[in-house]
Structure 1
Amino acid sequence: MVFQKSHFSGSVINYRAPCTSSEGRLCDVFGDLSVWNEYFWRVGLQLRELSPGQLSLVGMRHVDVDRNILEQCEAATLLCHLLSHHHCIVSVQLNVDVFKGHHQIICDALCRSPSLRKLKLCRLYMTTNASQSFVAALPHLNQLQKLEFTHVLFDRTCLEGLSKFLASTRSLTTFTMTDQHIKGEDAVIVLQGLRQNVTISTLSLHASLLSTVSSRCDGIFAEYLRCNQTLSSLTVTSRPHFSFSDLGPIIEVLMCNNAFSELCLIGFSLDILNIKIITDMLSRNRSLRRFRMVNCTFYEYNHHINTWVPVFSSGSNLIPLWLAAFAENNTLEEFTIDLSWIKPEDCSSFFGTLACKTSLKKVNIPEFRQNDVAHICRAIQDTGVPERFFLGQHHVHRATAAALPECKALSCIGLYGCTADEVEPLHTTLHLLPMCSQLKSLCLEMTRQAFNDNVGSLITQYLTNTTTLRELRLNFFCGIQSSIDRSERMLLQALSNNKSIRRLSLSGLYISEGDAEMLVDKLQSSRTLCHLSIYPYNLQATIWLIEKLSPNISSNYMLLGMRTSWYELLCGGWYPIKDAARRNNSLVTRAAHFVMGTRHKYCAEAAELMQFSPGFEEKVQELASVDEIQAVSRIEGSLKSFTEMDDFMCLAGVVKCSVTCHRRDDGQKQLVDLNRDCWLYIRQFLKISDILDAK
């Protein structure tokens, strides 16, 4: 196939080049990713390096362009070549733009892939022909470890083929169908295959698959959980509407399952019977390490109005169940629960019981009664181990604003819907912010009228002086504006001077061309700002931002993500920004894996280059499950590990073990004759990247 020149740079792609990756060496494709992605961009996809030396084709968010059949064909052809000839590509996402009309050649390429480990199908309608092609390919994916479906419309052929694959695979370890609503006989087909599976260790399903409408589903899944010895992690997502799902088949069989380590329930509506089943399981299970209940609402029956109502601050009858469960459980390490139901007077006993469990290292509380925040924070502080407890965002209001400085457990707060008529909580909060050094994240949402000179001055002063704030979101709404006012200009100047914010989101600000240039200068010079989301009041500002940022974005090694209003006419300027963010994320990934023990030269180069990037530190925190201080310590230790001459030369690939030099006849000093101080002085100016790779 003859390709058009790439859409943005006008480059000619050499897609037939073979894979050249080997241990410690990147494939040549990595050097041309920017060009490859110009073709994939047009179909909403991007090649990324999610682990060192390995490529993943993933979906792009907020990319909406008018693609044509030729562009779809080019992207499909490139994908097929990568799958068929490159063992550096390990993960692929298929969407409708690349799969539709090309399902046969793509499925054939999937069968030939020497290294595919993960496959995700997203927002697809499986026609009869597409289903037949996909089902025919499944038995050949004998190295596939992860399979995910998101909003895919299956026909019966596809479900039957999937069931057979689940029953027969000997490689699949992770299976995800969280966003798939499959019921009745279709659900039975999938579950019958799952029941015979002996390899899956991580499973994520939608509760519709286990619907009590079909008792066969209950029985099949219960038998699967009872007999399975490989499943260690289960996530079940429920319907968004009110419904008490029978958790018996899921929970009761886990009581004595010693292979199970993680359970996550999302979006369930739970009554007292469900809670009793859950707490009984916690009392008896001896293997569960992580238990998360996310967006789960507790209900009780109100006999006065003859209906079920949410339990809000009247949940004393639930406390004994949880206390009894944790009195018996000695294995749980992480626990996530919504505490909107707990009474203030019960907080001390509840948190105290959790704190006494030495195995329990992390307690997440994403939701709680906002009026009780001070009481909750005091109870957490009184446990003596507040570092184990993590509260979600507190929505500040009139009754809680004054207590913020004493709420040491709070790291994230927000003020929403602030108007000119209700500025008291806003003023109180802004006055107290300098005393809240525990805050890492701040969200302010207000009308333009509320953002007067006084408010602007307080925000500006705080942003100029803070050294602890990591995330800021500012949203201005209502009102008509045709120019920037004094308060907004002060705010933008304060943001330009700030040295701590890593994630910044601005919405509704009027931005002039000069202010756009100031923001671009801030982004380009910042040593901390990694993520920027900006949606100006005036749409022209988006054009100014993209046009001013795009030409020099390649010199920015801090930016990891950026979002703004989408215009296809800006596509040419937007692409270099997205590509720079992709490159920087790759470097952060390599650097973090170097800290974790991947001692490849290109990973060491990335560690040196990105050593001051906050994203590097956050990635180490993620991979190592450590806090910020521990991550910084690990990074420093890794960089010091190749300070000495022998270590540096080995890592750079110059020598295998140590540096030795043949003695010179003229007696001149050689490299090994340098004392340590001399070498360390030279080392200040010498980087791993300065040592060229052998041809």
Structure 2
Amino acid sequence: MSTAEAILWDLNNTKSVLTSRTIDHSIGCTHSDTEMCHIFVDLKLWNEFLWIIHLELKEVVPGKLGIVHQLGCSWKRVSEIQRSHAFILLHWLLKNHHCIELLELKETPFGTNLRLIGDALQCNVGIKKLGVSKFEMIPKAFFTALATLSGLQKLALCDVSLTRHAVAELQLAIKEMSSLTSLELEVRKLNPRNQSGLLDALADSSVAELHLPGWCLDNGTVFAKFLAQNTKLKKLTLDYIVNEGERTNEVLDLFGALRTNKVLEKLYLPYCFLRPSEGRFLAQVMAENNTLSVLQVGIAFGNEPDDFADLIERNGGLRELEIEGSFLIDELAGCIKKNTTLRKLSLQSARIGVERTEAFLDALAGNESLELVTLGNVFELVPGDFHELLEQKGLEKRVHYDCYTSDPPIHTSNKRSGTNLQRVYIEPQQDPVILVVHYMYFKLASPFRFVEVSIRLDRLGCTSARLLARYLSSTEVLESLYLTFDVNEHSMSILLGGLRLNKSISSLAFEDCEFTNEDASVLGALVKESKTMQEITLLSPDYSTSLAVISELSRCLVDNYFLLSVKTNEYLDLGEYMFEIRDKMRRNGSMLLDAVQFAMGSCTKRHAEAFERHVESKSLVRKLQEVTGETEFEVRERIKTRLRYIRYNFMTVVGVVKEKVICKQGKRQRTLLDHIGFDNLLRVVSYLKVRDIVDEPVAGCSHAPGSRMQLRKRKARP
């Protein structure tokens, strides 16, 4: 036996630490335009090995896989040989499987050999997106390999440091990757020479979306020249620009380049709070620039509101504007009346009192071009005060808001923002009076308005729990709930009882809450039954709570096909439970993608079955909006059309017949007996689901003649 054969034999006989199963490394990628790779049949097997090195293999787009970072097993339970085998498997997957189009790597305690990864990438033809984060001194060889990725479209290097030679190699790679359209470089400080070299490489590249740290403005003149002359860049994000007290002319040079650049469409400057002179200059520039359509900036303390009023009123082409900082919203009312170009406006002030918004809202009511205004940090005395004001002015559909009360801290929103409301928690000014707390909870439900609710309380008593449970069991609009409090012996069970009756919440989070084994069982039953829950977050410093909930979820998720995300504290010794949970997340994520494919026109039985399961889920609507770019109304019409297709073509979809079952009317256009038969058929299949038709005979029916397709027994609908 040769050395290569001996190595292959050893790899094929290495057993999983979880199930003792093995992988056959002799079979390569079988992906084609019409067939999925054989690897999709049992993703769990491959993950039993990749789990050792904190990686996960899962479907990321229909028919294509990604390898992403995920907390795995404790390093103490595996040997160095087992880890080496897992890295060899990673190398083999990247080298041989062109069905893998996403790779995300994050530094781990035992180290990831980027030279080994680079060697595999030189043979890869499928990777389109690559992310590398938290690595020290990425070697030159890795970037040499990047230059060979002819199909790479998106590259992200986040919180990494590079050797001097690696920077030079990265510059060459950027020039040679002709398909690269998106680049994020969060590289730790580079010297001026390397910064200039990097900008020169970007000037000659095909990059249309660029994300850089603020140090790129250290030499503002050089960056301004790069931006002014660039003819391909459509979107630019600059993070962590030095604060206004330490800046000189860097931001002024940046804005000056916008006078020359006629290509850039989106500019994001998060955490960049403009000085008065910078705000005035930006307003002047934007009066001349008619190509920039999206802008995000901030107002530094002490800035005159007139500067940004001019920006809103006089800009030439902005369609979306986001302003963050300290300003009085009523002082922007005048410019809102006059603006005719903006479609979306986001104002994230330090604090907006309800009483100060009326003039602004009156101006908005008179503006016909602004379709959506987002207001953050609106302070109200009682939940719902601001919403009532919006209803009075007929603006409840045009204004999205985040509101808060301070005693007790409650955040509410009429939109699904996708952000964590807990980030904007404020400490209560004093211990809230319990009757006030009860009144606040009562107001949450009168009437139901809030899509997101976040509540913080030191202790949740039984009376408060009953009020919340009553609200949660009856609301039909609440989608996201974030709770943090200490509980007494019975309050958690009361709260979970209300949650179990809820049919609208898709995102549920608990922080610093304790669960008994009985509470965990109720939560498990809730998840098992739910068809709306998509995300669950449990952040508890209490190990016994994490153990109770995670172990319960690992069992109950077998029968749940809708949950897509479970986030918990990262306890390595609970890794096996989390592995089972993630396996179900992978299954559910793939099923959602199957449903999307059917909605997009595919007619396979597997895709139709997935579509039937998700036909009423909000996750399908959101995923289709993401894929197609259509409005919610258009997506829902698409879903209705595809549901009718299943009804009228049921026998074809499930594989009983090869062609469509049709009945034709006679010459006199009279209804024929066959047409009546087709109507009867539609009535019959209305009691069936695609999954009721199995491909192989069920037990006790193997003697049935005719088609191999069999029908599961199903109760008739009332």
- What is the aligned partner in structure 2 of residue 6 from structure 1? 16
Segment of structure 1 superposing worse, 226-235 or 532-541: 532-541
- What is the aligned partner in structure 2 of residue 133 from structure 1? 141
- What is the aligned partner in structure 2 of residue 371 from structure 1? 353
Q: Does 1:34 align with 2:17?
A: no
Q: Does 1:207 align with 2:214?
A: yes
Distance 2:367 2:436 in 1: 31
Q: Does 1:349 align with 2:328?
A: no
One of 391, 406, 414 as aligned partner of 2:374: 391
Mark the runs of 5 or more structure 1 residues left unpaired by the alignment. Answer: 300-309, 662-668
Distance 1:195 1:163 in 2: 11
Distance 1:457 1:621 in 2: 37
Distance 1:494 1:103, change over 3 A: same
- Which amino acid in structure 1 is aligned with residue 216 of structure 2? L
Distance 1:169 1:22 in 2: 25
Q: Deviations over 1:356-409 (max 9, x none)?
A: 43xx43333344523247616734762466983243554656488755533443
- What is the aligned partner in structure 2 of residue 302 from structure 1? none
- What is the aligned partner in structure 2 of residue 264 from structure 1? 268
- Which amino acid in structure 1 is aligned with residue 140 of structure 2? Q
Distance 1:148 1:504, change over 3 A: same
- What is the aligned partner in structure 2 of residue 666 from structure 1? none
Q: Deviations over 1:609-655 (max 9, x none)?
A: 3223332222223334455555433322333344433x973797975
Aligned-pair CA distance for 1:266:
1.5
- Which amino acid in structure 2 is aligned with residue 143 of structure 1? G
The answer to whether the 8 A contact 1:19-1:85 is kept is yes
Q: Deviations over 1:221-253 (max 9, x none)?
A: 333323332221111112475544722443322
Q: Does 1:509 align with 2:518?
A: no
Q: Deviations over 1:134-188 (max 9, x none)?
A: 1332332222221110111101110000111222332211111146443422212
* TM-score normalised according to structure 1 size: 0.83
Distance 1:565 1:175, change over 3 A: closer
Distance 1:574 1:459, change over 3 A: same
One of 51, 61, 76 as aligned partner of 1:51: 61
Aligned-pair CA distance for 1:673:
10
Q: Does 1:571 align with 2:575?
A: yes
**Matched residue of 1:19: which SS?**
coil
Distance 2:587 2:384 in 1: 42
User: For 1:3-402, what aligned pairs fall within 5 Å after superposition?
Assistant: 3=11, 4-60=14-70, 66=76, 68-97=79-108, 100=111, 102-126=113-137, 131-178=139-186, 180-197=188-205, 199-212=206-219, 218-219=221-222, 221-239=223-241, 243-244=246-247, 246-293=250-297, 296=298, 298-299=299-300, 310-311=301-302, 315-326=304-315, 329=316, 331-338=317-324, 340-344=326-330, 346-354=331-339, 356-357=340-341, 360-367=342-349, 369-372=351-354, 375=357, 378-379=361-362, 382-383=365-366, 388-391=371-374, 393-394=376-377, 396=379, 398=381, 402=385
**Matched residue of 1:579: which SS?**
helix
Q: Deviations over 1:397-454 (max 9, x none)?
A: 6488755533443554442434534567644532321235331111111111xx3344
Segment of structure 1 superposing worse, 594-603 or 27-36: 594-603
Q: Does 1:460 align with 2:462?
A: no
Distance 1:228 1:319, change over 3 A: closer
- Which amino acid in structure 1 is aligned with residue 162 of structure 2? F
- Which amino acid in structure 1 is aligned with residue 31 of structure 2? S
**Matched residue of 2:262: which SS?**
coil
**Matched residue of 2:285: which SS?**
helix
- Which amino acid in structure 1 is aligned with residue 685 of structure 2? I
Aligned-pair CA distance for 1:319:
4.1
- Which amino acid in structure 2 is aligned with residue 72 of structure 1? R
Segment of structure 1 superposing worse, 600-609 or 156-165: 600-609
The answer to whether the 8 A contact 2:344-2:373 is kept is yes
The answer to whether the 8 A contact 1:380-1:386 is kept is no
Distance 2:655 2:336 in 1: 51
- What is the aligned partner in structure 2 of residue 589 from structure 1? 593
Q: Does 1:681 align with 2:681?
A: no
Higher RCO (Cα < 8 Å, 6 or more apart) = 1
**Matched residue of 1:159: which SS?**
helix
Distance 1:62 1:256, change over 3 A: farther
Q: CA RMSD in A?
A: 3.5
- Which amino acid in structure 2 is aligned with residue 96 of structure 1? E
